Amino acid sequence: DADVTQTPRNRITKTGKRIMLECSQTKGHDRMYWYRQDPGLGLQLIYYSFDVKDINKGEISDGYSVSRQAQAKFSLSLESAIPNQTALYFCATSDNPGQGLTDTQYFGPGTRLTVL
Amino acid sequence: EDQVTQSPEALRLQEGESSSLNCSYTVSGLRGLFWYRQDPGKGPEFLFTLYSAGEEKEKERLKATLTKKESFLHITAPKPEDSATYLCAVSNQAGTALIFGKGTTLSVSS
């Protein structure tokens, strides 16, 4: 079984709809991240969470919100989807490097979101 | 501003033709430099982490090296299955998140 799973894998929605993307991990990592990838651009950080009670905005958080339901679950919501949010969305996890562990991030398979 | 630049954007090789991909970075205190492989429509797959200048790591036909300003991913005798986009990323001293380059798309033909 994959260590980092994302649901749904593909989603087509309409402008103005609310949509939630979910991420679950079995790696036991404290830290979780949401990235967006557009063709020709690098991965851009949307939000990140270092533990259940910690949520932080990334470089492109406008139009998005997140919820950390448990150590293993981190969801991303688009409150009112718009066409320029059409992209590939990736969830990632990492250990807490303060505990002497590597902070290498491990990525899920991605969700392809299309907003019409 | 922390920044990562990868070159070339695209690279075409014949099977067995060795080459190198470049990742130049500016960062406020490097915690680590990461290489990932990404196949179309899939999530990035972790390859290497390098932490200090002079460090080298190898995996099959891939070898990553690190200096104070750049990293190289050397591909020796590539095969068609090495075709993918290779992403470079850095973690700064704050350690909050990774800063990614735009990637190098490698195509290896037989």
Could you give the percent of chain A with pLDDT greater than 90? 85
Residues from chain B contacting residue A88 (CB–CB below 8 Å):
41
Q: Is pLDDT above 90 for A64? A: yes
Cβ atoms A91, A6 nearer than 8 A: yes
Query: Cis omega before residue A83 (within 30°)?
Result: no
Pairing relationship of beta strands A54-57 and A44-51 according to DSSP bridges: antiparallel
Quote the radius of gyration of chain A (alpha carbons, Å).
Answer: 14
Q: pLDDT tens digits for chain B (110 residues)? A: 889 999 999 999 999 999 999 999 998 888 899 999 999 989 999 999 998 999 999 999 999 999 999 999 999 999 999 999 999 999 877 777 789 999 999 999 99
Q: Is pLDDT above 70 for A101? A: no
Residues from chain A contacting residue B103 (CB–CB below 8 Å):
42
CA pair distance B12, A71, nearest whole angstrom: 42
**For residue B94, what pLDDT is reported?**
73
CA pair distance B34, B6, nearest whole angstrom: 13
**For residue A102, what pLDDT is reported?**
63
DSSP code, position B28: S
**For residue B1, what pLDDT is reported?**
82
Cβ atoms B38, B100 nearer than 8 A: no
CB atoms closer than 10 angstroms to residue B33: 25
A42 confidence band (pLDDT: 50, 70, 90): confident
**For residue B58, what pLDDT is reported?**
97
Q: Is pLDDT above 80 for A113? A: yes
Q: Which of B4, B78, B10, B12 is nearest to B34 (CA)?
A: B4
Chain B residues whose C-beta is within 8 A of a chain A C-beta are 4, 31-32, 34, 36, 41-46, 49, 87, 89, 91, 95-98, 100-103
CA separation, residue A30 to residues A34, A43, A99, B82 (Å): 14, 21, 11, 32
Q: Is pLDDT above 70 for A99? A: no
**For residue A62, what pLDDT is reported?**
95
CA pair distance B19, A79, nearest whole angstrom: 46
Residues from chain B contacting residue A58 (CB–CB below 8 Å):
97
In this complex, which of B42, B46, B49 lies closest to A110 when CB atoms are compared? B42
A40 confidence band (pLDDT: 50, 70, 90): confident
Rounded to the nearest angstrom, the minimum Cα separation between A27 and chain B is: 14
In this complex, which of B36, B49, B98 lies closest to A102 when CB atoms are compared? B49
The more confidently predicted of residues A42 and B19 is B19
In this complex, which of A58, A103, A110 lies closest to B95 when CB atoms are compared? A103
Three-class DSSP category at B8: coil
**For residue A1, what pLDDT is reported?**
56
**For residue B19, what pLDDT is reported?**
98
